[in-house]
Structure 1
Amino acid sequence: MTGTESRAVRLDAEEARRLRQQRVERIGRWLLPLAIMIAAIWFWDRICVWNEIPKYILPRPLEVLQTLHDDAGLLFTSLLFTLKITFLSLLLAVVGGVGLSVLFAQSKWVEMSFFPFAIVLQVTPIVAIFPLINIYVNNQTAKLLLCAWIVAFFPILSNTTLGLNSVDRNLRDLFRLNGASRWQELWHLRLPAAMPYFLGGLKIAGGLSLIGAVVAEFVAGASGQASGLASRIIEAGYRLNAPRLFAALILISLTGIVIFLVLSLISHLVLRRWHESALKQEG
């Protein structure tokens, strides 16, 4: 065997080893979390059995699943209410955040004038703002929607503004040398460059909009004014109905996971053909 053939054999063996490693990693990325989750559920069940814990303190997993089945009508109706608040607030956060980011990118004076107010909304706890909203807003859905929007708005605004301001100066100079207007520069250069930042902020805002909706429902549900999953949790806590409480918590968690996965898929589909982050994932 010549030296060239020997190197070719070694390269083929290295390539085969690399492909096997990638295949194992792909399988392990799903198999390991699933195995750990199954082990955690089994351990949860065994703790209840070994310590004879009553179900109104800590229900067994099968009792939670049974409650999820028996109370499906009530729980999924509440889930739809929570989802309505979540997605409407996310939509408003996208429209408002992107629109205000464009204004910030077009005028530094606008950014310096209004960005501090966005920071104030972000750093103020929503539970502190809700009593004021409760006084000035009469519609219950509008109250919850406003609270969830406040939580989801800032990540969209800050990430998109960062993306619009992070365009390569050489490309901006090239556009100006070719006589492009500010809006042509915005549409053909700055918005595409800001897309990865916007999608990153969207994934954050998706989870925060759900959190904001649930927190707002908790505050409103404490006075019997909400009908989402948070109000079901409060009601179950008052009645010591732990299986229903855990079932509602599971629905909220699964909803958050689904929202994150859907937004991650959207981000990948948008960026996969041209942005480096998505290309690396495919490689």
Structure 2
Amino acid sequence: MSKSVERLAPYVFGLIALGAWQGLVWALDVPSYVLPGPIAIVQAYLDGHQVLNQALLSTLSVTFVALVAATAIGVALAVAMAASPLFRAAIQPWAVILQVTPIVAIAPFIIIWVNQPFLALVVCAVIMAFFPILSNTAAGLASTPPELRDLFRLNGATRWQTLTLLSLPAALPSFLTGLRVSGTLALVGAVVAEFVAGSGGFASGLAYRIIEASYRLEIPRMFAALVLLGLSGIVIYAALGWLEAALLRRRDGA
């Protein structure tokens, strides 16, 4: 099977699934407030595209800021954990506890404590996103070949030189893998936080538009917002995958 066929396979499957969905809605005469077809969803988006696009930009801005913050925090903690076994022993269990705690359970407290809507949403998204970067980067730093460390030490390299010239480049693939995962988690964290904030009356983001549409029984518009979220997640994952491939290609070709 050629690679071009493999690339086209997801799109062909998607078109077939959408056609079957629309056909079943027509054949069974399903009301749009129960299950709208793709045509009704597209029409709902076209009717409210300005509001939905503005909400999408709000959600993506939270996601981007959270991903940048999560990257900085995750890498800094990973480097500190690699440099100090005592620091790793003190921090790692708390990072795991924070990761396994459902964000929907602590988001109301964060929104109350931070008392600044955009910053509160960013904090929630950071909590969701930072752990894959932390764990993957720490694993990458720990996997640096010991013989290369010894070689650097024998040549009189300082700890900073060993870190920047050896350990961090060696950990780059692991870091980029964690970054791809964190990109989608940042979006999920932003949406979850927006749901909580939207229930409290903070009108921002696609999650709030979903809540608003559900109150009005505008189900096609709800689906339109969900489609935008799904497409955003795909674009974020693909963009970070392209960045990963470009950086690794540049590193290997250098």
Deviation at 1:200, TM superposition (A): 0.2
Of 30, 34, 40, the residue aligned with 1:57 is 34
Counterpart of 2:92, as a letter, is F
Of 114, 124, 130, the residue aligned with 1:147 is 124
What number of residue pairs does the alignment pair up? 253
**What are the within-5 Å matches in structure 2 for residues 80-91 of structure 1?**
80-91=57-68
Deviation at 1:274, TM superposition (A): 4.8
**What are the within-5 Å matches in structure 2 for residues 163-242 of structure 1?**
163-242=140-219
CA contact (8 A) 1:79 1:229 kept: yes
Gaps of 5+ in 2: none
Structure-2 separation of matches of 1:191 and 1:163: 8
Q: Which residue of 2 is the match for residue 133 of structure 1?
A: 110
What is the identity percentage for the equivalent residue pairs of Structure 1 and Structure 2? 49
Q: Which residue of 2 is the match for residue 94 of structure 1?
A: 71
Q: Which residue of 2 is the match for residue 267 of structure 1?
A: 244
CA contact (8 A) 2:194 2:207 kept: yes
Higher radius of gyration, 1 or 2: 1
CA contact (8 A) 2:70 2:133 kept: yes
- Indicate the RMSD between aligned Cα atoms, in angstroms: 1.3
**What are the within-5 Å matches in structure 2 for residues 25-104 of structure 1?**
26-104=3-81
Q: Deviations over 1:163-184 (max 9, x none)?
A: 0111001101111111111111
Structure-2 separation of matches of 1:69 and 1:132: 37
Structure-2 separation of matches of 1:273 and 1:219: 42
Moved over 2 A (4+): none
Structure-2 separation of matches of 1:116 and 1:209: 21
CA contact (8 A) 1:140 1:226 kept: no
SS in 2 for 1:58: coil
Gaps of 5+ in 1: 1-20, 279-283
Instruction: Output the TM-score relative to the length of structure 1.
Output: 0.87
Q: Which residue of 2 is the match for residue 5 of structure 1?
A: none
Counterpart of 2:198, as a letter, is G
Structure-2 separation of matches of 1:260 and 1:38: 21
